[in-house]
Amino acid sequence: MRVAAIDCGTNSIRLLIADVTIEGEISLTDVVRRMTVVRLGEGVDKTGEFSEAALERTFAAVDDYAALIRRHQVEAVRFVATSASRDVSNREAFVDGVRQRLRTVFPDFSGPEVIRGSEEAGLSFAGASSLLDWDPERKVLVVDLGGGSTEFVLGTCEGVEHAISTDMGSVRFTERHMRSDPPQETECSMATFETLSFLEDVAQVIPLHETQTVIGVAGTITTVTAHALKLEDYDSEAIHGAELSLDTIQQSVDQLVHSTRDQRSAMPFMHPGRVDVIGAGALIWGTILEYLNKITEGRVSTAITSENDILDGIAMRIAADRTHSGKAQLGQAEPSAAAETTEGGAGE
C-alpha cells in the first residue's frame, strides 16, 4: 500500500509518502520526503498561542502536501502534531485549517492528531531504531530533539521500556536564552543549566545509566552530524547511520554554538530555517551526550545519527493498523516513483 505520514512540529512540517510492504516485518520505500520550515511554534513559549503568520505559513505547506498526496495516489494518511500544538490556547484554529485542506484529498479525514509526548516518543523509537541490527540485550536510547520538546525513549528490540517528553528544544531555548549573535557565555550557561535540570528529572523516570547505544534524530542532530562530517552539501546517505565519537560531536557543537548567524548561514549543509536556532539545539545535544557519558561511567562514548524518525514510525503504524483491521490488501506494493528529497534533514 502507499501511505502518507505528516509530522508537524514546532519548527517544521514534514511529509513522507512511502510504499509499504509486509513480509513478516514492515518495510518502507520512500516515494517523497519533504521538509518545510514554518516555525509554527514561534512565540508560543511567551504568548501561549499560534500567531496568524505562523498559521498561514503552516497552511500553505499543508496545501502543497495535499497536492503531492493527490498526485501520488496515496491510500491512507495520518497527520501528527507534536509539542507546539499541545501547548496553545487556539489549537482548534490549527486543527480546523488542516482538516479543511486535507479533506480536499480525503473527504473522511478526521483531522490532525495532537498526540501525547509518550506516543510521540514511541513513534520516534520505532522509526529511529529500524536502522539497527539488534543485539537482543542491547539497551538503546533514542533522543528526538525538536524545536519545542525533546523525547527520550529507552528500549530494546522488544520495544519501548521507558519514555518521557520534555519541554526543551531549539526554538524554545533560543527564544528563552540565546538572543545574542553570537550567544554570550551567560546565555549559554543558563541554557546548559536548564538542560541539566531537565536531564536530572528525566533520570528520575528513565534509567539512563543503563544506556548502551544512543541514537539521535531530528534536524538539530542531523545538522550537527553534517558539520562533524565536514559535508560540502546536506547528504542524507552520509548522515544516516553515522556513528561519531562524543569528542568529535562536541567540537562541532562548540563551533555551531559560538558562530554568528552569518557564519552559520554560509555553511553549505545548513538549512536557512535552522540558522537562528541551531546554536541552542546543538548546545542541548552536546549537554545530553556529556551527561550520558558521565552517568554511564564512560560506556556511552559515541552517538549514532538516524534520518529515520517519527515520520517512519507513523508510516509503519498506518500499515500495521490497516493490516490489523483487515482493510489492507497485502502483497506486492505498487512500483515507487523516483524518490524526492528536500535538503535539510529531519524536522523538529
Instruction: Give the phi and the psi of residue 341 in degrees, each rounded to 5.
Output: -135, 135
Q: Which of 38-47, 158-167, 296-305, 319-328 has the lowest mean pLDDT?
A: 319-328
Specify the pLDDT at position 344: 44
| Cis status, amide bond into 182, omega within 30 of 0 | yes
Exposure string for 211-236, b = 16+ CB within 10 A, e = fewer? bebbbbbbbbbbbbbbbbbeeeebeb
Q: Which residue in the block uniquely carries the three cell numbers 533520570? A: 203
Q: Which residue type sits at 203?
A: A
Residue with the larger pLDDT of the pair 222 and 319: 222
**First-to-last C-alpha distance (Å) of the chain:** 27
Specify the pLDDT at position 348: 60
Q: Which residue in the block uniquely carries the three cell numbers 553549505? A: 268
Q: What is the pLDDT of residues 266-278, one digit of tens each?
A: 999 999 989 999 9
Q: Are 319 and 328 in contact (CB under 8 A)?
A: yes
The mean per-residue pLDDT over the stretch 299-325 comes to 86
| C-alpha–C-alpha distance, residues 119 and 11, integer Å | 19
315 sits in which H/E element: helix 310-325
Q: What is the pLDDT of residues 124-168, one digit of tens each?
A: 888 888 777 767 778 999 999 988 889 999 998 888 899 988 989
Which has the closest alpha carbon to 154: 165, 145, 143?
143
Specify the pLDDT at position 335: 29
The mean per-residue pLDDT over the stretch 192-215 comes to 96
**Pairing between β-strand 213-217 and β-strand 140-145 as defined by DSSP bridges:** parallel
**Pairing between β-strand 302-305 and β-strand 159-166 as defined by DSSP bridges:** unpaired
- Tell me the pLDDT of the chain averaged across its residues: 87
pTM: 0.78
Q: Which CATH architecture has domain 2-115+311-341?
A: 2-Layer Sandwich (3.30)
DSSP string, 3-64: EEEEEE-SSEEEEEEEEEEEESEEEEEEEEEEEEE--TTTTHHHHSS--HHHHHHHHHHHHH
265 sits in which H/E element: helix 261-265
Specify the pLDDT at position 84: 65
Q: Are 13 and 79 in contact (CB under 8 A)?
A: no
Q: Which CATH architecture has domain 125-305?
A: 2-Layer Sandwich (3.30)
Q: What is the pLDDT of residues 213-238, one digit of tens each?
A: 999 998 999 999 999 999 999 999 99
Specify the pLDDT at position 77: 94
| C-alpha–C-alpha distance, residues 305 and 318, integer Å | 24
| C-alpha–C-alpha distance, residues 8 and 120, integer Å | 11
Q: Domain map of the chain by residue range?
A: 2-115+311-341, 125-305
